[in-house]
Amino acid sequence: MSASRIGLLVCAVAMVAVSATMLAWSVPHLAGYGGGQPFDIRFTGYDHGEAVAFLKALGPDGRAFYDTVQLRLDTAFPILYFVALSWLLAAILGWAGFDGVGRVVVACVVVAVPTLLDFAENAAIRDMLRRAPEAVDADLVARASWYSTRKWSMALVGLTIAALGVAVVLLRRRARTTP
């Protein structure tokens, strides 16, 4: 196995490890304060009232944990996500018959969009966490929620493209083996 493949495998394993850490430890820890799930995993977004209620439920300790632990994990995650999944999507597109640098560009763009939205989401959430709940305005919440919902939507688009690529690969394989 080449050094670049080993590096990508390490990124993929690290991505899964960071994700598992968040899902098994930091997200349940935050949810344990009451007020619902952390902002990052609210697929359908949230409004101003929900955001303020969650920030109040977290209290100072929960907001500090979210800021210093969860958001640090969620800074590492999108970096690892981008490296591992853009490489994987480029490979899937190559197996599906899309050759050349175009498949790499498409893969990078498809994976970069939710990655950049995740970074923007994290910045907006950090801004909310560093304010008193009563000082969090509706515009900031709307922006953070917009980033959250668009991140998940664009990640779903990427998964759909990958699934279509896998389907093309399987159909081509079947066509070659069917008499």
- Judged against a pLDDT cut of 90, whether residue 179 lies above it is answered with no
Alpha-carbon span 161 to 56, nearest angstrom = 39
- Domain residue ranges in the chain: 3-177
Q: Report the percent of the chain where pLDDT is more than 70.
A: 100
User: Under 8 Å CB-to-CB from 55, ≥6 apart: which residues?
Assistant: 35, 63, 128, 129, 133, 136
User: If we measure between CA atoms, which residue out of 18, 59, 61, 60 comes closest to residue 40?
Assistant: 18
- Judged against a pLDDT cut of 90, whether residue 125 lies above it is answered with yes
pTM of the model: 0.93
User: Which string of b and e fits 147-164 if b means at least 16 CB within 10 Å?
Assistant: bbbbbbebbeebeebbee
